[in-house]
Amino acid sequence: MTTTSEPPLQLTAGEQLVRPSTSLGVLSRPKGDTGWQSWLFTVDHKRIGIMYGAAALLFLVMGGVEALLIRLQLAVPGGSVLSEDAYNQVFTMHGVTMVFLVIMPMAAAFANYLLPLQIGARDVAFPRLNAFSLWCFLAGGIFLNTSWFLGGAPDGGWFGYAPNSGLVYSPSNGMDFYALGLQIAGIASLVSAINLITTVLNMRAPGMTLFRMPVLSWMLLVVQFLLLFAIPVITVALFLLSFDRLFDANFFNVAAGADPLLWQHLFWIFGHPEVYILILPAFGIMSEVIPTFSRKPIFIAIGFMGWGVWAHHMFTSGMGPVSVAAFSLSTMFIAVPTGVKILNWLATMWGGRIRFTTAMLYSVGAVAMFTIGGLSGVTHAVAPADTQQTDTYYIVAHFHYVIFGGSLMGMLSGIYFWWPKMFGHKLDEKLGKIGFWVLLIGFNLTFGPMHILGLQGMSRRIHSYAADSGFNLWNLFATVGSFVIAVGVLLFFWNIGVSRRRARGAPPVGPDPWDARGLEWMTASPTPTHNFDRDITVTRQDEFWHRKWRIGDDGKVTRIARSEDVAHDGSATDVHLPSPSYWPFVVALGLPLVAYGLIYNLWITGLGALVILGGLYAWVFEPPDDPEAHAHDDHHDADPSDDSGNGASGGGTSPNGDGEPDSGDGTRQLAEAGVAGGPSAQATEEQP
């Protein structure tokens, strides 16, 4: 594809370059590419993805400690590790942490890092909004956890059922932190969803049609649409709950005429699409890892039907036999595409030359654990059986096999798989495999017995149980298993430290250590700031793989090029990049101030509002670039308030400041004052 562009602006004889005589002061862009400030104010999608992942792992440790406290309390009858009130707070925060602060941001980490790379883009469509979503998520997570030190954490369950979440049954400020903190985190998810949808629809590489995108990119795109429509629903519910608690409204006050099922409908209309928001990224990861280590392609897809099954969480709420029958059928029906996905993964492995790397082990383990969780979930489609299982430990076992066994193990597979791309070295395979088996054994030892406990009648959300209930043995097994899981998690973090030390001074592993298929492996490792040295023209699905291998007429696969010969080396210079910014961090900082003020003092809310408004003002009027930065392309010449980053022109090219497209290889030659320059050279990507 040939493109043209105007020559760079040049000075004629007698003209001088005019520069500002005074500093831009607070509106200046951050300077420096190293140190902590370069991370704090970055808009680079890769750094933002890494920070999302690091934050998710930190919250994983916190949620894991809360889980261990729960299991210690239930290890024996009449446990005294936690009081009744403390137990309610711990199990509420465990659920909130694992769902909203671990699995969701871990998926966001993969989306932010990999989506632009997999579609051949330089960055996301709106880089500053991307940074804002990260700091907004962290603001919400930290705000939620400060409740431990400010009178008590949320204690109404992660689902926040009214009226238990009202002032009568939860008089502390804990549920205020819940309602406001999740609204802040929800802003992060909504902003990120809009950003990533725009990126995928407008910034794909030349020739990268939607149906040539990798399965992971498709899964992540579907998740963004689910977030786009699901987050507003839970936001409405949380908004109403905040008004009930802070301003004496009556949205959930049954005594004042409110519908007792209103919260449940709002929460689960969000909550069941949320299950797919949690699991689909892991499906996408498994659909990248399994073909790579089976040497066979795959294709799967799912999404829309998750909206039609929310009420199977409410079969015992008295909503009527017609509704129960309808949602029973829809729940049975949704098992069909889920089963197809599992068969696709199995068919991909069947007959393949499988390499059982750590990443592959985690993917296979995730398929197996999710299958168990799916089979137990199908039993909930049968309303009479669901009536017996509701609010028992059978339900706890089911969703842990889906969320922990499916989502978290799938994402651990992704961490091992893409770690070399992110950091330039592999995690230790021996330690990784030991950690996998420890984690898998501990997981089944913990949650397998919960099926039995649930069928024996043990209720969930109970602080203790009687010695003659018959629950003693399996609760002890589950507690032992939870500490085995903890050992597996510690081995994972130990592996990170050991591998990092071994990698110091060692050469990078190369662009493609796994002989993978996606475009993200078609650049250097770790990924350079500009992603690709030049635009990539895509002619088929799995473009990178087809540049390395050829399938003959007889079906035989032969190598035609080495990965190093096909991949970019990351040496390009003068590549158009978005500039760092202070203001996403500042605006996000104002949100928890507003929330603290709503709980304690409205003057603090006013201060937070001033921080937000000041940050937004500076965001709009900050310059597109530091005027003294000669080597950095100006990516917002036309409109400083435009946050389009590196542009959204179809085919992945970036618009220059004068509105013209970049050169075909994604670079722009910058002219110094008085230096003659011609049109940007057109680079082409030749296939071997």
* 3-class secondary structure, 160: coil
pLDDT class for 327, splitting at 50, 70, 90? low
The β-bridge partners of 575 are: 667
Which of 209-213, 374-378, 476-480 is predicted least confidently? 374-378
Q: What is the pLDDT of residue 467?
A: 92
Contact 143, 589 (CB under 8 A): no
Half-sphere exposure of 272 toward its Cβ, with a 13 Å CA cutoff?
A: 22
* Among 644, 667, 659, 447, residue whose Cα is nearest residue 574: 667
Q: Is the pLDDT of residue 334 over 70?
A: no
pLDDT class for 322, splitting at 50, 70, 90? low
pLDDT class for 162, splitting at 50, 70, 90? confident
Query: Considering the chain, what is the average pLDDT of its residues?
Result: 83
Q: What is the pLDDT of residue 324?
A: 57
Which of 34-38, 207-211, 406-410, 462-466 is predicted least confidently? 34-38
419 domain residue, yes or no: no
197 domain residue, yes or no: yes
* 3-class secondary structure, 54: helix
Rounded to an integer, what distance in angstroms lies between the CA atom of residue 452 and that of residue 516? 42
**Residue where one domain finishes, among candidates 223, 248, 280:** 280
> What's the one-letter identity of residue 120?
G
> Which has the higher per-residue pLDDT, 358 or 668?
358
325 domain residue, yes or no: no
pLDDT class for 651, splitting at 50, 70, 90? very low
Q: Is the pLDDT of residue 376 over 60?
A: yes
Domain residues for 548? 519-578+631-677
Q: Is the pLDDT of residue 423 over 70?
A: yes
Q: Is the pLDDT of residue 133 over 90?
A: yes
177 domain residue, yes or no: yes
Please count the structural domains in the chain: 2
612 domain residue, yes or no: no
pLDDT class for 632, splitting at 50, 70, 90? very low
Q: What is the pLDDT of residue 192?
A: 96
**Residue where one domain finishes, among candidates 222, 257, 280:** 280
> Which has the higher per-residue pLDDT, 309 or 340?
340
Query: What mean pLDDT do residues 278-283 have?
Result: 91
In which residue are the tokens 């928001």 written? 277
Rounded to an integer, what distance in angstroms lies between the CA atom of residue 624 and that of residue 107? 30
Which of 514-518, 559-563, 660-664 is predicted least confidently? 660-664
**Residue 293, both tokens:** 């280590």
Q: What is the pLDDT of residue 299?
A: 43
Query: What mean pLDDT do residues 450-454 have?
Result: 94
Residue range 167-193, pLDDT digits in tens: 988 999 999 999 999 999 999 999 999
* Percent of residues, the chain, with pLDDT higher than 90: 56
565 domain residue, yes or no: yes
Q: Is the pLDDT of residue 658 over 80?
A: no
Rounded to an integer, what distance in angstroms lies between the CA atom of residue 508 and that of residue 530? 18
Rounded to an integer, what distance in angstroms lies between the CA atom of residue 143 and that of residue 184? 9
531 domain residue, yes or no: yes
pLDDT class for 616, splitting at 50, 70, 90? very high
> Which has the higher per-residue pLDDT, 661 or 564?
564
Query: What mean pLDDT do residues 450-476 have?
Result: 93
Q: What is the pLDDT of residue 677?
A: 34
The β-bridge partners of 120 are: none
Query: What mean pLDDT do residues 569-592 have?
Result: 89
Q: What is the pLDDT of residue 323?
A: 59
> Which has the higher per-residue pLDDT, 141 or 329?
141
Q: What is the pLDDT of residue 596?
A: 97
**Residue where one domain finishes, among candidates 235, 258, 280:** 280
Contact 402, 408 (CB under 8 A): no
Q: Is the pLDDT of residue 132 over 80?
A: yes
Q: What is the pLDDT of residue 393?
A: 93
Q: What is the pLDDT of residue 452?
A: 94
Rounded to an integer, what distance in angstroms lies between the CA atom of residue 369 and that of residue 401? 6
Alpha-carbon distances, residue 572 vs 398, 526, 532 (angstroms): 50, 15, 8
Q: What is the pLDDT of residue 71?
A: 96
* Percent of residues, the chain, with pLDDT higher than 70: 80
Query: What mean pLDDT do residues 299-305 have?
Result: 46
641 domain residue, yes or no: yes
Q: What is the pLDDT of residue 653?
A: 38
| CATH code assigned at 88 | 1.20.210.10
pLDDT class for 680, splitting at 50, 70, 90? very low
Query: What mean pLDDT do residues 231-250 have?
Result: 93
Query: What mean pLDDT do residues 482-496 have?
Result: 97
Q: What is the pLDDT of residue 297?
A: 60
* Among 407, 648, 635, 417, residue whose Cα is nearest residue 518: 417
pLDDT class for 274, splitting at 50, 70, 90? confident
Rounded to an integer, what distance in angstroms lies between the CA atom of residue 80 and that of residue 88? 14
Rounded to an integer, what distance in angstroms lies between the CA atom of residue 574 and that of residue 671? 11
Q: Is the pLDDT of residue 307 over 60?
A: no
Q: What is the pLDDT of residue 541?
A: 86
**Residue 369, both tokens:** 């654990």
Residues 6+ apart with CB under 8 A from 616: 583, 587
Query: What mean pLDDT do residues 285-304 have?
Result: 70
